[in-house]
Amino acid sequence: MSETSTSAADGPDEAASPSRDRLAFDLDVDICVVGAGLAGLTVAREAARLGASVAVLEGRQVGWNASGHHLGTVMPGFGLPISDVIERVGLDDARELWALSKEGADYVRATATEDLIPGIRASDGALEVSNVDVGEALISRLQTLGEEFATEVEGWQVDRVRSVLRTGRYFHGIYYPKAFQIDGRKYVHGLAALATRAGVRIFEETPVVSIDFSGIRKRIVTPTARLRANHIVLAGNIHLGAPLKRLSDTLLPVWRYAALTEPLGERLAEAIAFSGSVIDSDGIDHFRVVDGDRLLWASPETTWNARPKRLGAAVQRRIATVFPQLGKVPIADTFGGAVGITVHGMPQIGQLRRGLWVASGFGRQGLNTSALAGQLIARSILWGDDRWRLFSPFELVWAGGTTGRVAGHFIGLWARGAASAAGVLARYREGARAKERRREARLAEANLKAGTRGPAPRRPPPSAVRPVRPAPRQVEDGEQPSAHPSQESERISDGRM
């Protein structure tokens, strides 16, 4: 269910990412958004559509990090399992949070159309698969999602999963027919274009040097100019910089990379006959087919930055492990980006103090969550919508700094190792059951050829047969009873009565 920080695009789209000026003059606006990623651009666009004057300050370029490098999977839900959300906030609030996540997915679907963003290449369906045999857990989750949260889902048995994913690595699955995927890079640049059309002013290469939160009008200092605003929205994720280090320290930075293969032709269709996104429930695999015969595959997370091209070989090996029939696939390009993960597993959405808002912590959350954050904050500022308070139980928690990164790295390694071991054990048990069924089938066939329906019944050994004594004869009136049944037997054998 989590989104990855990779891209389906073949390369930067120069037409979709025009160069934008840095802020070189003092400016007054109603709302200043710090960060031109998915969440920040959604806040800006929606606030401008509601009539506010909005400026976006971006330290680099629009969508330069994870917002412009992802698989583009859009589906309801959060990074935290729904059972944990219910345990934390209760069933009623969990339903409202889930409804917000569905609104976020609907927003992306309504925005990511060919009319608004040409070349977005939307396709339907997402399949969450398990690498262990969890039939009972699957039924329970389907009931929760379908009955309690009114989500359209289908449970897929092992045979159906393997009919479209021809590998023995996966077992049961949950199919989301209303989920979809888009070209992520085109979406973030298309969103920036739509925001500009609505009146938003976006300034690139404009890092924030300092912020004065006091007073009704907040003051933001950049290297070349100053800006004043009634509201500031912090949507810069882990890249907010020194002025907002305390906020950045509540996030654990993780990097995820992906590789895009060269065209694989018909052999890809023979291995993968599913056109939507495939997500491993353990967070190990996330992939989908693009352009008909190319495979886009994300690597596991790491808490350390690395050159994306170094991860290409790792993705290549993983593809060969899951789909041996594909062999060593040629890699055309690799992508990567960093996101922030919160300690509690939910995004940071809400008001920190009067006029200061946060939309961050979208690692493992998905495009729908950044979209719902943008809508919710814009409506909260301009309409007084207070549904952001649903996220209040998930407060800002320090992520542990460097120590947290080290711990997160080893926890991630342990989790992936445990998931891998569980998968190996599940496949071993499946193989053992299949072997036993084959043995029984061979035995039944041998018995059929021998003219029997099954193994001949075993005869008990002679020592196990106990003699049956005759029942004692009833004594008639006037007759003398025998002294002992054995004596009566002797008399019968001698012909004496």
Query: What pLDDT, on a 0 to 100 scale, did the predictor assign at position 97?
Result: 95
pTM (2 d.p.): 0.78
How much is the average pLDDT of 202-222?
A: 92
Q: How far apart are the first and last CA of the chain?
A: 94
In this structure, is residue 457 part of a structural domain? no
Query: What pLDDT, on a 0 to 100 scale, did the predictor assign at position 209?
Result: 92
Query: What pLDDT, on a 0 to 100 scale, did the predictor assign at position 242?
Result: 66
In this structure, is residue 398 part of a structural domain? yes
Confidence band of 8 (pLDDT split at 50, 70, 90)? very low
Is 477 or 61 the better-scoring residue by pLDDT? 61
Q: Is 336 helix (H, G, I), strand (E, B) or coil?
A: strand
In this structure, is residue 63 part of a structural domain? yes
Are 103 and 133 contacting, i.e. CB atoms less than 8 angstroms apart?
no
How much is the average pLDDT of 72-87?
A: 91
Confidence band of 217 (pLDDT split at 50, 70, 90)? very high
DSSP letter assigned to residue 148: I
Is 464 or 281 the better-scoring residue by pLDDT? 281
Instruction: Provide the CATH number for the domain around residue 96.
Output: 3.50.50.60
At residue 190, does pLDDT exceed 80?
Answer: yes
How far apart are the C-alpha atoms of 72 and 113, rounded to whole Å?
Answer: 14
Query: What pLDDT, on a 0 to 100 scale, did the predictor assign at position 431?
Result: 62
Are 55 and 229 contacting, i.e. CB atoms less than 8 angstroms apart?
yes
Beta bridge mates, 124: 180
At residue 243, does pLDDT exceed 60?
Answer: yes
How far apart are the C-alpha atoms of 194 and 471, rounded to whole Å?
Answer: 103
In this structure, is residue 263 part of a structural domain? yes
In this structure, is residue 372 part of a structural domain? yes
How much is the average pLDDT of 306-319?
A: 82
In this structure, is residue 485 part of a structural domain? no
As a whole number, the mean pLDDT across the chain is 81
Domain that holds residue 333: 27-422
Could you give the number of structural domains in the chain?
1
Confidence band of 415 (pLDDT split at 50, 70, 90)? very low
How far apart are the C-alpha atoms of 60 and 338, rounded to whole Å?
Answer: 14
DSSP 385-428: --GGGGGTTS------HHHHHHHHHHHHHHHHHHHHHHHHHHHH
Confidence band of 469 (pLDDT split at 50, 70, 90)? low
Query: What pLDDT, on a 0 to 100 scale, did the predictor assign at position 394?
Result: 86
In this structure, is residue 448 part of a structural domain? no
**Residue 279: Cβ within 10 Å count:** 29
**Residue 387: Cβ within 10 Å count:** 18
Query: What pLDDT, on a 0 to 100 scale, did the predictor assign at position 45?
Result: 98
At residue 36, does pLDDT exceed 90?
Answer: yes
Highest mean pLDDT among 27-31, 128-132, 468-472: 27-31
In this structure, is residue 43 part of a structural domain? yes
How much is the average pLDDT of 291-297?
A: 93
**Burial class of 253 by CB neighbour count within 10 A (0 to 12, 13 to 18, 19+):** buried
How far apart are the C-alpha atoms of 57 and 212, rounded to whole Å?
Answer: 16
